[in-house]
Amino acid sequence: MIPALRQRYNAAFTEARYAAFLTELNKAVYWPVDFRVAESPLFFDEATTRALVRASDDIIGQLAKPAFRVHAKTAIPQGLTVPKETEWPHFLAVDFALCHDASGQVLPQLIELQGFPTVACWQALLTGAYKKHFPEIPAEFTPYFSAGGARPPDGLSGSTNPNQPARRSGSTFEEQEEAYLNDLRHAMTGDCLPENTVLLEITPDQQKTRVDFACTHAFLGIKPLCVTKVLKRGRQLFYGSGGREVRIERIFNRVIFDELLRKNPPMKFSFFDDLDVQWAGHPNWYFRISKHTLPYLKSPFVPDCRFVSQLGGDIPADLENYVLKPLYSFAGLGVDIAPTREKIAAVEKPAEWLLQRKVTYAPIMETPDGPAKAEVRLIYAGDGTGMPKLINQLVRLTKGAMHGVDFNQGRTWVGASAGFHAPL
């Protein structure tokens, strides 16, 4: 989106430098990268950065209103409410497709949002590696927002929480990265020691995002732990380490409930127990801020979205322009990009499915073998006492129909990426 910078980067790119970049990523921590990493980051011009932040602020503002809490009460499936919910989510991930409006300007369109953490520590590793191996990225360009990088424009993006510690501003990329990791550390550990905080997941060593878990351990000292390794003593939880039992005081939760229910791993505790533990990313927020929220959002940045149960006979005639989504799945599982009236009629639990209007991704980034399309996730983190704040973003590049691996087989300049923008 910055033509001169894009041309300079593409002209200087070599496969040898890309290979060295990948080698560093795969050797940086004890688990390798299990997904494709794109050959380039995305460079945001100022107008696009401002449009993204303004779109996200519009949506976050609606989540902060009392009306949101009314419909969010119905978001959690029966029997899946976890005790000790925090007043606010610790984490938000807001996904936008980069589209074009009628005048050809970038128009962000909401794809999904989650009250759940994302691969935030991996992004620190990734952006640092891009900076190191591709010096065409201007020194002043940053992926970071309030964590010492570019401040959100026009006072937008997340409510200010006076209880949060002052952020360390820094003019160098290294200082910005340190401030970013400090924000993540505060959100994940709170007032607990890293040793007493665990990153909880189902078989973390087998997850596709395991490199992020290893980064979280390396950067913040928070150990990834399988739910089957947690011990329970009364209301307290522990894990074994070096022949001793270490108290778990805080859980940085990465467990996806639909996976937990599908796999039903043998556990010595239950999420639904009254536990003497703090949650960083309380499980209830996974449901409250999710696809369940989409039909209630009204914004030029949000495509038409309705519960299947509320359609009645009002099924759009142009179904080819819609996608059918299950509410309680993750990473695109179960999404139908070619719905029909027959498929909609056959949905067993229509209150747990959405019909959402498709968006047209813009060919946003020039590459040697054709333009790539982009999806941008804005990353928010906080302490649970107020709405979290925007601190970073990640980018996913595609040349296929969707942003999954199966839709990009054999393609280059696609996959996981990062966004860089000039400080605002």
- Buried (b) or exposed (e) across 271-296, using 16+ Cβ within 10 A? beeebebbbbbbbbbbbbbbbbbbbb
Give the residue-averaged pLDDT of 389-396: 97
Give the residue-averaged pLDDT of 278-304: 94
Give pLDDT, residue 327. Answer: 84
For 334-367, the pLDDT digits (tens) are: 889 899 999 999 998 999 899 999 999 999 999 9
Give pLDDT, residue 400. Answer: 79
Give pLDDT, residue 328. Answer: 75
Give pLDDT, residue 410. Answer: 84
Contact 420, 410 (CB under 8 A): no
- What ranges do the domains of the chain cover? 3-303+359-421, 307-358
Instruction: Name the CA radius of gyration of the chain, rounded.
Output: 21
Give pLDDT, residue 409. Answer: 75
For 157-215, the pLDDT digits (tens) are: 443 333 333 333 457 999 999 999 999 999 999 999 999 999 999 999 999 999 999 99
Asked if residue 374 has pLDDT above 80, the reply is: yes
For 309-324, the pLDDT digits (tens) are: 999 888 999 999 999 9
- Please state, rounded to an integer, the average pLDDT across all residues of the chain: 91
Give pLDDT, residue 163. Answer: 33
Provide the 8-state DSSP code for 78.
T
Q: Which of 192, 165, 163 is nearest to 179 (CA)?
A: 165
Give the residue-averaged pLDDT of 395-409: 76
Give pLDDT, residue 403. Answer: 63
Integer angstrom CA distances of residue 407 from 41, 42, 375, 400, 403: 20, 20, 14, 5, 7
Question: What percent of the chain has a predicted confidence (pLDDT) above 90?
Answer: 84
pTM: 0.91
Strands of 244-248's sheet in order across: 231-233, 236-241, 244-248
**Terminal alpha carbon distance of the chain:** 16
Asked if residue 259 has pLDDT above 60, the reply is: yes
Give the residue-averaged pLDDT of 97-108: 95
Integer angstrom CA distances of residue 277 from 145, 146, 180, 319, 345: 31, 29, 25, 47, 44
Of residues 160 and 134, more confidently modeled: 134
Give pLDDT, residue 399. Answer: 94
